[in-house]
Structures are given as structure tokens and as C-alpha cells.
Amino acid sequence: MAMRGWDFVDVVLVSGDAYVDHPSFANGLIARLLEAAGFRVAVLAQPDWASCEPWRQFGRPRLFFGISAGNMDSMINHYTANRKVRNDDAYSPDGAIGRRPDRATLAYCQRSREAFPGVPVVAGGVEASLRRLAHYDYWSDTVRRSILMDSKADLVVFGMGERTVLDVALRLAAGQSVRELRELRGVAYRLGASEPPSAGGDTLELPAYEAVASDPLAFCEMTRISHLETNPHNARRLVQRHGREAVVVNPPALPLEQGEMDQVYGLPFSRRPHPSYGAARIPAFEVVEHSVQIMRGCFGGCTFCSITAHEGRIIQSRSQESVITEIKLLAAQPGFKGTVSDIGGPTANMYQMRCTRPEVEAKCRRLSCVHPTVCKLLGTDHGPLKALMREARTVTGVKRVLVASGVRMDLARRDPEYLEELAAHHVGGHLKVAPEHTDPEVLDLMKKPSADDYVEFDKAFQEASRRVGKRQYTVPYFIASHPGSGIEQMIDLAVFLKRNGYKPDQVQDFIPSPFDIAACMYHTGLDPMTRQPVTVTKGLRDRRMQRALLQFFKPENYFEVRRALEQAGRHDLIGSGCDCLIPARPPQAALDRRRSEANRAVTERTSGDHIRGRPAAGREADGITPDPRAGGRKQGRRRRSIGYRPKRPGQRGE
């Protein structure tokens, strides 16, 4: 501020991530967008939330505080699927943990109000976006209220938010009050007890918080309606009562046009972390430093994935000229060694794919354009993507252009030329794909294609690689403990892997993410779209067995796999037969692992590194001070938070 001669700022952006001036980091992108519109912007990255003093360092912002927990939900950022504290944070300098609180949006909003009462507080980002309604919270195993109720933010901007945030800034600068911004698309807000929500044909009332917190069927109905109202062209306003108050969610913002995408990604990013970090590494930045995002959105609609819910299912693509310009700038940067690490997005091969009938797209409420079959109206032409890939390879200073984003297999198989082009020029030995499972019922709950689709794609890719003289492989990703998947289904998946010679190096444990359809299945044991029962695995021991089955070939998983096979009565898979997953006698590595785990269990009895149960007072585990005006809730000084404490004695990450 001193160097620029500023005596005030218009907006203070508060983020749980390190400040990286790169389009893949929301704090960098929104800051550059507001700056380009003429606003004075300050970024408060990973502030010490113990007091509001860091919030005062830039003075009172003229327009608003913009709050984000970061590129991830802070609870997923902090804890593993087994509710253990993670041992690193990819969005912090040197991967250090402890740089943001649990439920960071709540703490940051409170400190903003304490620092400068009366300044509008606008929350956004993944955490606020996916928690805008009542939601199941895996870490406390409860249904929590809308984040608007607990954070008391004036507005929540949900979705990607560029156009909405800019509108907020422009209208506040024009003298409008934050209450007058409630009509904007892409915002949610809280109504007081004396403010009746508007009614009419464009408004739907969801089951109230009190109902969804106690009744699984009400929770399913809330989930079903809210997901059917995500198409910005036909979505209606949603209202959900919380006691005498209510939360209102407006229709989503319209997708960005190509020119707007080009403008956003053409902003003058330095593509570097803030100089104050010195030589410290920021792991998430290193992954994307030499990557170029060509599109956003995903029409896959996978029930366990938040991408469609956050970015939308309408694909928004940049022009070829915009992408090539960014690659040229990247190639001219000091330290660039000739490899573009990725040109892609949420999915590598959905570039410029849209519904071929805009009038139908405007009415469609289908949650996936590719499940159970690829919609006949979906444009699946890889031509624009192939042209972009070819042009990218010709840029001076560029030696290789890789595709590191996951490839949608059912789309890629429709274009053998794309597959061959991919194999010949854009894969560095391994190609990411995500079959996720093999059981038909589980795949149907996930909204994923059949396992045969992966087998055929794998064959086609390896054949294409051989034709171009390369030996390359797919890297499949699978999920353990997804709703619908029991021990029997995971054993069948393990046998499939054994028969096909696949040895997954990385596997995922299912984590119920707020707002996702799969999270509703996990919480209620029902498919919200059909109300049919769904098998759910919740016990940590069963979850460990499912994960071990995905990597049955690792000696350290021997006893977990054996326990699963014996529990399921599959003794035929123990021994030396062709389909046997493990030998009859445990290897020495398995015995060593069992001994170390026994020692570790003794230590854990006193370390207390799991998330503990939710306290009776409800909100006192959030790291925020209860509002003394809230009737029926505990007043006065709260108990100490039992949340994220990476430096407490005995703390161990995983």
C-alpha cells in the first residue's frame, strides 16, 4: 500500500491458502479480476486467527471482506478419511500444517466482523459454496446448519463466482447496500425472523433444517431438489427454513462465455508465489506451475465428486488463441524447461463439448450427460481439442505438451484419432483414468460407465501406443468404501485387478463431501433419487479392509485382506491358485507391519489424534464464539475448541 501510495483498500480477500498469483489459485484469480476493474485489493493469506489484529493491518476496507477457506474444504484439507490429521498441507509454504483453522470460513468471517463492524462480509470458495444449505458433515457425523447461519456472512457467493464477485464490488462501489445485492444470481443469503421469503412459481421451499437433521427421507428430498435445480438456465430460487429464520439460494450464475473466459485467464498473472515466502515450496503450486487450464465444468455428474456441483455441468472453454498465448508466455518464463505439464481441466477431453440444441439445454434437468448413456444431443467432437493440441506442440520453446488431467474414457473411445494423437505426443508413459469400481450397482450409484469400458479403453490405448512405438500404460483410480460397496464387491474388484494384472499405486478412500449425492447416500443409507436402500460402510475396520483389498498385493496389507476374505467366506482366494489374492502363509513384511501397528496402538491410547465427538452445545467445536443474542444457545465464554491442534502434545499426522 505504501509503495502504491494507497491510504485505503476497497476489498480485503482473506484466504486459507498461501497467496499464489496463478489462475489455478482462487485468491490470485479474484484479486487480479478486481484489480483489472480498477479496485484496490489486498490479500490476507493464512492469517493468524487467534485475534482480529491481522484483519486490521490494511485498515477498514471501503467495500467488503471476501472470505474463502481456500481451494479445498478446510476439513478435507485437515483430515483423512479415517479422521486422522494429515501430515501436510499442499497449499501452505513447505507443506506445513496448522496454517488455517477447522471450518476456516466461520473463523475468518467472525474475525472480519470483529475487526471492522459494519463492513460487508462476503464468503465464497468451495467450503462456503458446498455448505450453503443444511448438509451432512462427516467429521462431526451430524447434519449442520447452512454456513450462512453459523458464519453470519452477509452473502455467500457459490460456484466459481468471477462474474458475481465483480458485480458485488461494482454495485457496492455505486452506493448500493449489501441487502440490495440479494437479487444477484449465484448468491445465497440469510433472512431474519421478521423477513418473509418471497413466494411464487420461481421459488421452491426445501424441507426445513429441523426436518433434515432428524428425518433421512427429508434429507433425501432436500438433496434431490437441490441437485435438480443446478442448471442455471432453468433453476429456481430455493428457500430452507432454520427455525424462525431462513436461507435463500438464488439460481446459479450463468456460465462464462468464451470471451469472458479468455479475459479471466488473460489477466497479468505473475504465475509465482508471493515473494514473502522466499525459498519455501508450495506443493500445490509445483503441480500446476507449468500447466494451462483450457476449460472448466464437467457434465459427468459423478455422485461422489464436487466438480459438477461447484463448476457446473455446462462446459466453458477458452479460445485456442487464448490458450496458445498463455503457453507462449509460459515458454518465455525464466526456469521453463520445455514441458507443459498439463493442458486440461476437470476432465482432459471435454474441451468445447456442449449440448447441440441450446433450446433443449435450457430446459434439461438431467444430472449427467453421459450416464447411463451418452446423450444423443451432446456434442462429442474432439476436433477442436486435437487442433489445440497440435498447435500447442509447435510453440517455440516447447518440447512436450502433456495431458495430466484424467481422460473421460467413454468419450475418448469415440475418436480413435484423438486416442492415437494422445498416445503419440501427450502422454509421458502413464495416462490417468478413473474407472472407480467394477460392480455394476456401485458404478450405477456413482454414475460411472461399466468396467468393460475401462478394459476396452486400456486395450485401445496400449494398441495406439504400440503403433506409435511407445510402451505406455493407464493409471486407474479406484475408490474404496463408496456407498453400495461392501466387502463382497471389493473382493470382486480385487479379483478383477488380479486377473487383468492391474496394481493400483494410488487408491482413494471415499470421503462424504458436503452437498454431494453420495454424501446423502452415506448419511441416510438411501439413494435420494430413487429412495432405494444403499449399502453403507461406516466402521473404520471395514473401511481399512476395503482399502487393503485394492492393494492386496502389498505385503503390509496381508492381514487386512485375509480378515476380509475370511469374513466373506472366500477361503478359495487364499493360497497359490491363479485367482488367489494372498498366500496361505504371511510374508515377513506383513508380520513386521503387524508388530509396528501393535506398538502404535499403545501410543495412540494417550495421543488423542482422532477428531472427537461433537460437544453437547453443538457449535462450540467450531472455533468461534457463540452469539449471545441467539436464543436457547449457550451464552458467555465458550469451552476451548477441540478441533484442529497440530502442535498439541502427542499429535501425529497420517
By the 8 A CB rule, do 594 and 559 touch?
Answer: yes
Determine the topology of domain 290-551 in CATH. pyruvate-formate lyase- activating enzyme (3.80.30)
pLDDT digits (tens, 9 = 90+) for 5-51: 999 999 999 999 999 999 999 999 999 999 999 999 999 999 999 99
Q: ∠ CA 145-223-240 to the nearest 5 degrees?
A: 45
By the 8 A CB rule, do 326 and 288 touch?
Answer: no
Residue that is written with C-alpha cell 457496492 in the block: 172
Give the integer Cα–Cα distance in Å for 543 and 538: 7
pLDDT digits (tens, 9 = 90+) for 441-497: 999 999 999 999 999 999 999 999 999 999 999 999 999 999 999 999 999 999 999
Please count the CA atoms within 13 angstroms of the CA of 539 that sit on its side-chain side: 6
Residue 224 has pLDDT above 90, yes or no: yes
262: left (phi over 0), alpha (psi -120 to 50) or beta: alpha
Class of residue 50 by CB neighbours under 10 A (exposed 0-12, middle 13-18, buried 19+): exposed
- List beta partners, residue 121: 65
Q: pLDDT grade, residue 607 (50/70/90)? A: low
| Residue 456, amino acid | E
pLDDT digits (tens, 9 = 90+) for 336-346: 999 999 999 99
For the CA atoms of 440, 441, 447, 449, what is the dihedral angle to 10 degrees? 0
pLDDT digits (tens, 9 = 90+) for 508-536: 999 999 999 999 999 999 999 999 999 99
| Residue 647, amino acid | K
Give the integer Cα–Cα distance in Å for 431 and 423: 9
Residue 437 has pLDDT above 80, yes or no: yes
Q: pLDDT grade, residue 642 (50/70/90)? A: very low
pLDDT at residue number 569: 96
**Alpha helix segments (H runs only) across 395-486:** 409-412, 416-425, 440-446, 451-467
Residue that is written with C-alpha cell 435438480 in the block: 228
pLDDT digits (tens, 9 = 90+) for 74-91: 999 999 998 999 999 999
CB within 8 Å of 180: residues ≥ 6 apart: 171
Written in H, E and C, the secondary structure of 19-79 is CEECCCCHHHHHHHHHHHCCCCEEEEECCCCCCCHHHHCCCCCCCEEEEECCCCCHHHHHE
pLDDT at residue number 370: 95
Evaluate whether 11-189 and 290-551 have a shared fold. Answer: no
Residue 620 has pLDDT above 50, yes or no: no
> Is the four-CA dihedral 284, 285, 291, 292 of positive or negative sign?
positive
Q: What is the DSSP string of 110-158?
A: HHHHHHSTTS-EEEEHHHHHHTSS-EEETTTTEEEPPHHHHH--SEEE-
Mean pLDDT of the chain, nearest integer: 91
**Which SS3 state, helix, strand or coil, does residue 346 take?**
coil
**Average pLDDT of span 144-151:** 97
- Compute CA distances 274 → 10, 92, 144, 282, 288, whole Å: 20, 12, 36, 11, 16
**Domain residues of the chain, as ranges?**
11-189, 290-551, 552-607
- List beta partners, residue 79: 85
Q: Which grid cell is 235?
A: 433453476
Q: Choose the CATH number for 11-189 among 3.40.50.280, 3.30.365.10, 2.40.420.20, 3.10.50.30.
A: 3.40.50.280
Overall pTM > 0.85: yes
pLDDT digits (tens, 9 = 90+) for 381-405: 999 999 999 999 999 999 999 999 9
CA 204 to chain centre: 27
pLDDT at residue number 631: 39
Give the integer Cα–Cα distance in Å for 413 and 464: 11
